[in-house]
Amino acid sequence: MTDAALVARYPFLPGASSALGDLQPSLRELVEDPSFEQVRALAREEVLLALSSAREAPGEGVAGFDAARPEERVLAFLYARMLVAVAPSSQRVARRWSEGLSRRAGVEIARREAPSEELLALGGALDLELAQDPKFRGSFGFALPSYVRLSSSLRDERFRLSRQRLHQGTVDVEHREVVELLQEGVRSYLLDEMAMLRLEPELQTTLKARESEILTRISTLSPALGPGGFGVAMRPDLFPPCMREMRATMDRGANVSHAGRFALASFMHKVGADLDAIVEAYHGSPNFKESITRYQVTQIAHHDGGEGYTPPDCATMAANGLCVKELDDAMPPLCADPGKLRNPLNYYRIRVLPLARKNVGEKSGEAPAATATPEGAPAPPSAPTATSSGPASTPSPAPPERTTPAPRPAA
Ligand code: SF4
């Protein structure tokens, strides 16, 4: 990738560093040299924006980028990568950050006057075999290996290979899906790059000391698990209507389906409930057995090294008869706006983030970050698809479609 304009729009792509020419600072110079302060400022803004507004306003750009030269954008990206690497819960931050950048790439493509050229350029930069031919529905087709590489991590049924049309080893893809697949290519490329990044311990210490304020903001926008997740103590009164309804149902001694119990346990874990609090939520359900419930909740919470499962998206909740948004007249109409929510976590995040920002502002003695707008739900690709399998007394993790299968102990 050598085109300066393309580098400027996607400074994170492979080959973008060619824009640096002879300007090849070491990582330490990037961290410490005063002449790179402008670059560091861009990077800080970029990380916060990618984390905070990736879902609600993915097209929003970093203000200073308009005036920045391509090489400055590339350096800002390299510095942003380091910030993400030393942030608390860095793997989680890396997932959100890469998702935010990939979504913004999708918006950039849509903005172009010649989106086809942009698609081909991006595909080429990501080493994907993407062919343009009018015989395809969206004028584009992916070579089968490229398609499989991109679609294997997408849960949406639309991307199942069995649903695609094949022309002599090329997968015929609609235009919109080409963009989504390329976004996935950007996301997975960034995650791979993050996994390979190695920073000297001494440099990490320096970076953490110099950027303590921004790292605090990052951890608020991508909160760690455990009690007080999202930067505030758990607020059941701010749970989305579906989760409040399930808790109320069990409190009344009525049964909630397997899919519902799985959704509630995974949701509560993600919003910072500890095991005791999650188990407590099931006390009222018929035939409650604490030891079995505790075992199953533990399996949900400890999945993926403590990340836990992501609760099912709203579409899956609705398909399982668990979405109750029409019952929630008293709440702001978050659930009624299909562009606003994808996952119940998103509802909760939108409700609690103002409180979290207030906490950070009070701790640091400063006003909250202007860019810290509500963030979207955690990376949906890791969300399991909950299946309804009839009544039982305890929550059961449902098997995910494409990640390590969750344990499913007998009820
Ligand atoms: S729209 Fe989503 S968050 Fe709202 S009630 Fe339905 S499933 Fe829950």
Task: Determine the Cα–Cα distance for residues 290 and 333; give it in Å rounded to an integer.
Answer: 36
Compute the distance from residue 259 Cα to the ligand 1 centre, in Å: 14
Average pLDDT, the chain: 76
Q: Are 101 and 12 in contact (CB under 8 A)?
A: yes
Q: Are 100 and 379 in contact (CB under 8 A)?
A: no
Q: Which residues does 222 contact at the CB level (< 8 Å), separation at least 6?
A: 51, 87, 89, 92, 93, 96, 375
Q: Which of 151-165, 242-256, 283-297 has the highest mean predicted lDDT (pLDDT)?
A: 242-256
Compute the distance from residue 45 Cα to the ligand 1 centre, in Å: 31
Which pLDDT belongs to residue 86?
A: 92
Which pLDDT belongs to residue 284?
A: 86
Residue 380: pLDDT above 50? Answer: no
End-to-end CA, the chain: 55
Task: Determine the Cα–Cα distance for residues 218 and 87; give it in Å rounded to an integer.
Answer: 7
Q: Are 43 and 74 in contact (CB under 8 A)?
A: no
pLDDT in tens, 44-62: 988 888 886 544 444 455 5
Q: Which residues of 174-186 are buried (b: 16+ CB within 10 A; e: fewer)?
A: eeebbbbbbbbbb
Q: Give residues (CB < 6 A) around ligand 1.
A: 240-242, 314, 317, 323-325, 335, 341, 344, 347
In ligand 1, the atom with minimum distance to the C-alpha of 243 is 8
In ligand 1, the atom with minimum distance to the C-alpha of 318 is 7
What does the domain layout of the chain look like in residue ranges?
Answer: 4-221, 229-382
- Cβ neighbour number for residue 337 with a 10 Å cutoff: 9
Tokens of 278: 């999650």
- Cβ neighbour number for residue 96 with a 10 Å cutoff: 25
Instruction: For residue 23, give Cα distances in angstroms to 30, 125, 200.
Output: 11, 22, 22
Tokens of 79: 């510095």
* 22-44 average pLDDT score: 91
Strand partners, 166: 171
Nearest residue (by CA) to ligand 1, atom 8, is 242
Residue 285: pLDDT above 80? Answer: yes
Compute the distance from residue 380 Cα to the ligand 1 centre, in Å: 15
Under DSSP, the state recorded for 310 is P
Chain centroid to CA 129: 26
pLDDT in tens, 322-354: 998 766 555 557 887 766 788 999 889 888 877
pLDDT in tens, 90-99: 877 887 888 8
Which pLDDT belongs to residue 351?
A: 86
Compute the distance from residue 63 Cα to the ligand 1 centre, in Å: 33
Nearest residue (by CA) to ligand 1, atom 2, is 314
Q: Lowest-confidence range among 178-192, 277-291, 293-307?
A: 293-307
Residue 396: pLDDT above 70? Answer: no
pLDDT in tens, 354-373: 776 665 555 444 433 322 22
As a CATH number, domain 4-221 is 1.20.930
